Amino acid sequence: MRKADIQYKKIVLVCVNERQIGSTSCANKLSLDLYNKLKIKIAESDPEIRVSKTGCLGNCLSGATIAIMPDNVYLGEVKEEDIPEIISIINK
């Protein structure tokens, strides 16, 4: 094992988990679109912050859900219009 070449100061995980038809999930709350837009906006503001897709974060009922690490901040019911506030939270 070795330390990875690239180290990020923060990682933003966006749940894009899909569940069976009829079950609530982040994917059916447009989380993949959110991921794509958030990734672009954060890359513009700080390339040392990584935005990654992830599976279930255990918060399906309030999806779309993101987690900001290492701050251990979980946000639910996230929408595209929340992106400026998310960037503000990340930069605290």
Q: How does pLDDT run across 46-57, given as a tens digit for each residue?
A: 999 999 999 989
Q: Which CATH architecture has domain 10-79?
A: 3-Layer(aba) Sandwich (3.40)
φ, ψ (nearest 5 deg) of residue 21:
-55, 130
pLDDT tens-place string over residues 17-55: 887 776 778 887 888 999 999 999 999 999 999 999 999
Q: Would you kindly state where each structural domain of the chain is located, as residue ranges?
A: 10-79
Whole-structure pTM value: 0.89
Contacts of 43 (CB under 8 A, 6+ apart): 51
